Amino acid sequence: MANLKEIRNRIASVSSTMQITSAMKMVSAAKLKKAQDAITAMRPYADKLTELLQSLSASLDADSGSKFSDNRDVNKVLVVAITSNRGLCGAFNTNIMKQSMHLVEEVYAGKQVDFMAIGKKANDILDKNHTVIANHSGVYDELTFDNVATIAEDLMERFVTGEYDHIDIVYNKFKNAATQLIMTEQFLPIVPVEGAESSGADYIFEPSKIEIVEQLIPKSLKTQLYKGIRDSFASEHGARMTAMHKATDNATELRDQLKLTYNKARQAAITNEILEIVGGAEALNN
C-alpha cells in the first residue's frame, strides 16, 4: 500500500484536476448557449433558402446551364473537414477523421482525394498522410458570414475551373449538448431534386428565372457552408461540456476512493503505532 504522503499528493492532484474540468465545463456551457442560439436562429433561413433552390434545381440545366450543376466524371475530389482548434471534447474530432477516412478508403477509393481543413485538429491529423490544400483554422477567431463566404467562393472557384470534380463537407451537426450527428453533405455540384417542379410551389419570377437562379445558387452555397461551420461550432462546445462533466464526475469518484484508501492506511498506521507502544510497555514490565 502506498504511504500516506503519496496518497495525499494524489488526492491534491486529482482535486486540482477536478477544479479545472469543472471550470472548463462552466465555460463551455456559457459558450454553448450563445452558439446554440446562433445556429437555431439561422436554420429557418437556411432551410427556406434550400427549399427555394430545390424548387428551381430541376430546371437548372435546361434553363440556365448553371456552372455549379455541371456533373462531370469524378476523378478529383475535395473534402472539407470541419473540426475544432482545440481538443478535450471527447470523440468530436475523432469522428470527423473516421468519416473522412471512410470517404477516402471506400466511397472514393481509387480517386484523388484532397482535403481543406477548417480547424487546427483536422490540419494536424490530415497533413501527415494526405494533401491539405488550405487550412482555415483562423475562421473561428471571428466566425462571421463574410469570413466563411470567402472560403465558399474559393471552393466554388476550384470547382468551376475544373480543379475538382466533386466537393463534400464533413461536420458535426448540433442536436443537443450530448448528441452530435456526423454529416456528409455534397457541396458541389448541385444535384437537382427530382419532382421539385411538381411540388405545388407557385413562384412569380422577377426579373427572370435564370437571373434569380444565378444569384441564388452562390448565396445558398455560402449559407450551406456557414451553417455547417456554425453547427460544428455549437457541437464542439456541447461535446466539450459533456466531456468535462464526465471528467469531473470521474475525478470526484477517484478522489473519494483515494480518501477512503488514505483513511484505511492512516488507521493501519495508527494501529501499528499502538501495538508497538503496548508491546514496548509489556517488555518494560517484564
Instruction: Dump pLDDT digits (tens) for 224-236.
Output: 999 999 999 999 9
The kind and range of the H/E element at 112 are: strand 112-118
Backbone angles phi, psi at 30, to 5 degrees: -65, -45
Fold held by 32-193+200-243? Pyruvate Kinase; Chain: A, domain 1 (3.40.1380)
Indicate the length of the chain as a whole number. Answer: 286
Residue 64 zone, left/alpha/beta (φ > 0; ψ -120 to 50; rest):
alpha
Mean pLDDT of the region 181-199: 75
Which residue has better confidence, 107 or 61?
107
| Rounded Cα–Cα distance for residues 279 and 258 (Å) | 31
Backbone angles phi, psi at 12, to 5 degrees: -65, -40
* Residue 248, pLDDT above cutoff 50: yes
CA 71 from centre of chain = 29
CA 266 from centre of chain = 47
| Per-residue pLDDT tens over the stretch 156-189 | 999 999 999 999 999 999 998 889 999 999 999 8
Confidence of residue 201 (pLDDT cuts 50, 70, 90): low
pTM value is 0.85
Grid coordinates 456541447 are at which residue? 238
* Residue 3, pLDDT above cutoff 90: no
* Residue 198, pLDDT above cutoff 50: no
Confidence of residue 138 (pLDDT cuts 50, 70, 90): very high
Residue in 168, 187, 190, 183 with CA at minimum distance from that of residue 231? 183
* Residue 195, pLDDT above cutoff 60: no
% of residues, the chain, pLDDT over 70? 89
Biggest alpha carbon–alpha carbon distance for the chain: 116
